[in-house]
Structure 1
Amino acid sequence: MKILHGPVNVGNQPWVLSRAERQLGASSDVVVRNDTWLGYSADRVLSAKNTGFLQTAIRSTSFGLTSQWRYDVLHFYFGQTFLSPGFPLSAPGSLLSGASRLTDMVNRLSAVDLHVARLFNKKLFMTLQGCDVRLAGEGNVRNEWTMCAPQHCELYQRCTDALDHRRHFLIEKVLPLFDRVFYLNPELGHIVPHGRFLPYSNVEIEKFDVALPAKQGRPKIVHAPTAGRIKGTPMILSALEQLRSRYDFDLVLVEKTSHERALEIYRSADLAIDQVLAGWYGGFAVEMMAMGKPVACYIREEDMAFVPDAIKRELPVYRLNPGNLVEAIASVLDRRSEWPIRGQASRLYVERWHNPKLIAKAMLSAYEDPNSAFELISNAS
């Protein structure tokens, strides 16, 4: 069985899962449309990171029309295929908005290779990761705290004006063409009813040494902002600034640096604060937990119906309340004596629920039989 992961490597999920599939004896490759400043690995990069949009789209389409058919399983990510152009969310409004004609054309192109794949009996899988399918307008109405709001995301208006249209097409017309659909954020269960929640498999655990937080001295808090405000970074920074008169700590912001360099910085941290708007933790949190670091973030209770009960029971993260973030973070700082224990529990949690080998084993079974139960751990209770 030959497996292809692509056309993007978001959060290093495709790469780590592919390496685990190789360790289990499968032929598995990662091919990405273009390189990025994060420097994630891939078996083949079709365009350098500075290549223009048009040239990148041409190379991606060429690969999608020719080379991808050598594989038995096509596992795509972020709602894209090699024939979809992969518009960046920050593309000019003229490309995204007027555009019912252009948008409809893009939508049709994004499904062409899927129909062809069906004719050639290829297995089709999709992993959704957040803003690829999240409906901004609907999320704004459903959730009290969400990045899908004008004050939290610079692209909110663009999403409601144009991108949500493409996402509806993806949900209604494209995703039904796949044998299985997975999503990494449980919020997506509200809008992808036939999908399944999938834990991150972005960490090669054996490469992450445990470095528990220090019990004494000034604690080092790390946060990794993304572009824009979608992690709630302004809220986090404001809360920490208010706490400086009560607590002594160092704050390290990790941004605009390579993934390798970021991991070096994480190792010296004592506490990680992840996102406070998404309602779930991200790949950054998994990396921190793999190092034995306690993590704090916002967990949206309304989304937990889509998370397996065993994961919910063992979830080690400190839960933050965005509506009272100052006191929520203060409560975590007051519990410093238990951080090493929480860090140990976090590492065990990653080994159990974010283990690439276990996830890859279940994924390989799903490739063989899309109707498989997808059991991550045989003795899970």
Structure 2
Amino acid sequence: MAKRSIVIEPKPAYGRINPNKLGRILHLPYNAAGQMSSQANALKKIGINASFCDFYGSAYQYPTDIPSPIKNIPKMKREKAMLKFAQHCVSKFDIFHFHFGQTFTGYAYSDLPLLRSKGKKMVMNYWGTQIRRLSIAKQKNPFAIVKQTNENLIVSRLKTLSKYVDSAIVADHELLEYIDGYFKKIYLIKASVNQNVHPAYPNVHVKRPLVVHAPTHRGVKGTEFVLEAVHNLKKSFSFDFQLIEGMTNKEALRYYQQADVVIDQLRLGTYGTLAIENMFLGKPVVTYIRDDLQSKYPADLPIVSANPKTIETVLSNLIQNPKLRYRIGVKSRKFAEKYHLPEGIARQLITVYRDL
């Protein structure tokens, strides 16, 4: 698009914050990778009047706050229930923080005229799938893959939403490329993770290191290349491998704590919440970071970058070097604490809300 958005990396809001002046905030309707609940709960902890409502629930059993207005309601009747819920919330909240490209009425956006007519402040938080377009991604990433292949649908939704919502939030520069020009302002705010866990750094004396891979979507994560690399390396090295699928967060966490290497994804060119969770645990994390985006991240990013062509070499090096795994693990924990703690993210959000 010809017109560019104003891109802002908001500074955290410190000092005295008046919750009443800021207003009542509602996060909804999709708790992508637990981000919605992480943000809302972090805001609550620093005294902000924030709530969240997950319409759809999750196989990962993330916490809920306000009960879903569409639970047990047939799909054909859901939009009416969603709109009714919007009407109910208009008088109770001042700021609506939407997630995953959806509003009260999902992708229908039939609630937005009401919210605008009432002068409500709104911001959309995008998390990936709902905006990532292959035609753009392929320009800089030969390994790119997307879940949503209908680009006309993505663009149509962006155009409709941005008529009513002036501001959006994305976690990094990779996602920025897909929405630049649609919104007046785009804020860069990293993902946060509620991880009250002690680090479990890789043991330098372990005889058989444990490599873990957790694909939420095998194609997107590049699981076939991971499995091929593991198959080939097992011919030469002694190590264990665990694929994490169909588990609750609690079940998966047990494997992450024992892991010596965690492989996230090999195709997207950026890192997400799984990588952050394991950096908090003090693990070396393997994820593909696009070469052109390396400079956009902090210089102390400890991610070990690998793509489908290099994963076998990268993994081989980590399997053979226990001291390297430990050093990277220590750096991972420090990085996560520095950039991804929920309180810091919440204070950046306060700056955004004040700016709406």
TM-score, L = length of structure 2: 0.85
| Residue 354 (structure 2) pairs with residue 368 (structure 1) | yes
* Whole-Å separation in 1 of the counterparts to 2:301 and 2:240: 26
Distance 1:323 1:68, change over 3 A: farther
Write out aligned runs for 1:259-274 (5 A).
259-274=249-264
Cross-structure match for 1:251: 241
Q: CA, structure 1 residues 53+239, in 2 after alignment: closer, same or farther (shift >3 Å)?
A: farther
Residue of structure 2 equivalent to 1:101: none
If asked which structure has higher relative contact order (CA below 8 Å, sep 6+), I would say 2
2:221 pairs with 1:231: yes
Give the aligned partner of residue 171 of structure 1. Answer: 158
Whether the aligned pair in 2 keeps the contact of 1:35 and 1:48 (CA below 8 Å) is no
Q: Measure how far apart 1:47 and its partner are.
A: 6.1
| Alignment-mate amino acid for residue 126 of structure 2 | L
The answer as to 2:58 corresponding to 1:36 is yes
Q: Is the CA contact 1:7–1:81 (under 8 Å) kept in the aligned structure 2?
A: yes
| Structure 1 equivalent of residue 202 of structure 2 | 213
Q: Does 1:196 align with 2:182?
A: no
Q: Is the 8 A contact 1:222 1:253 kept in 2?
A: yes
Name the structure where helix makes up a greater proportion of residues.
1
Deviation at 1:120, TM superposition (A): 1.9
Q: How big is the shift at 1:124? A: 0.8
Cα displacement (A) at 1:212: 0.7
Residue 195 of structure 1 aligns to a residue whose secondary structure is: strand
CA shift, 1:208, in A, is 1.3
Q: Give the corresponding residue for 2:94.
A: 72
Q: Secondary structure at the match of 1:332?
A: helix
Once the two structures are TM-superposed, the CA of residue 347 in structure 1 deviates from its matched residue by: 0.9
The aligned counterpart of 1:379 is: none
Bigger shift: 54-63 or 295-304? 54-63
Residue 115 (structure 2) pairs with residue 124 (structure 1): no
Partner of 2:131: 133
Q: Does 1:53 align with 2:81?
A: no
Contact 2:83 2:111 in 1 (8 A): no
1:336-381: per-residue Cα shift (whole Å, max 9, x none)?
21222211111111111101101101111221223xxxxxxxxxxx
SS at match of 2:221: coil
- Contact persistence 1:35–1:45 (CA under 8 A): no
Unaligned runs of 5+ in 2: 1-22
The C-alpha deviation readout for 1:306-333, integer Å capped at 9, x for no partner, is: x3xxx43010111113223211222232
Tell me the alpha carbon deviations over residues 243-296 of structure 1, each in whole angstroms, 9 at most, x when there is no partner. 111221111111111122222321111110010011111211111111111101
**Equivalent residue of 2:129, what SS?**
coil
Measure how far apart 1:57 and its partner are: 4.3
Runs (5+) with no aligned partner, structure 1: 86-108, 149-154, 371-381
Structure 2 equivalent of residue 374 of structure 1: none
Query: Would the aligned equivalents of 2:167 and 2:186 in 1 still touch at CA under 8 Å?
Result: yes
CA contact (8 A) 2:90 2:115 kept: no
Percent identity (aligned): 27
3-state SS in 1 of match to 2:47: coil
The question of whether the paired residues in 2 share the 8 Å contact of 1:34 and 1:47 is answered with: no
Q: Could you report, residue by residue, the CA deviation over 1:137-180 in whole angstroms, capped at 9, with x for unpaired residues?
A: 333454211123xxxxxx5xxx44xx322210233331353342
Q: Does 1:291 align with 2:277?
A: no
Higher mean Cα deviation, 60-69 or 225-234? 60-69
Which amino acid is the alignment partner of residue 191 of structure 2?
Answer: Y
Q: Cα 1:240–1:316, aligned 2, differ >3 Å: closer, same or farther?
A: same
Quick check: 2:212–2:241 contact (8 Å CA) kept in 1? Answer: yes
**1:58-80 residue CA offsets vs partner (Å, 9 max, x unmatched):** 43333123225421110111100
- Which of residues 76, 84, 87 in structure 2 aligns to 1:62? 84
Comparing 356-365 and 136-145, the one that deviates more: 136-145
State how far apart, in whole Å, the 1-side matches of 2:71 and 2:260 are: 33
- Alignment match, 1:340: 326
* TM-score, structure 1 normalization: 0.80
> Partners in 1 of 2:79 and 2:246 — Cα distance?
25
For 1:126, the aligned partner's letter is: M
Cα RMSD, aligned residues only: 2.1
Partner of 2:337: 351
Aligned AA (2:87): L
- SS of 2:162's partner is helix
Letter aligned with residue 352 of structure 1: K
Q: What is the CA–CA distance in structure 1 between the aligned matches of 2:122 and 2:70, rounded to whole Å?
A: 27
User: 1 CA distance for matches of 2:62 and 2:255?
Assistant: 17
For the residue of structure 2 that corresponds to 1:74, the secondary structure is: strand
**Residues 48 and 223 of structure 1: CA distance in aligned 2, closer, same or farther (over 3 Å):** farther
Give the match for residue 187 of structure 1.
174
Structure 1 residues 197 and 247, CA, compared in 2 at 3 Å: closer, same or farther?
farther
Q: Which moved more, 1:313-322 or 1:256-265?
A: 256-265
Contact 1:275 1:282 in 2 (8 A): no
How far has the Cα of 1:16 moved from its partner?
1.1
Describe the shift of the 1:181–1:208 C-alpha distance in structure 2 as closer, same or farther (beyond 3 A): same
Equivalent residue, structure 1, for 2:303: 317
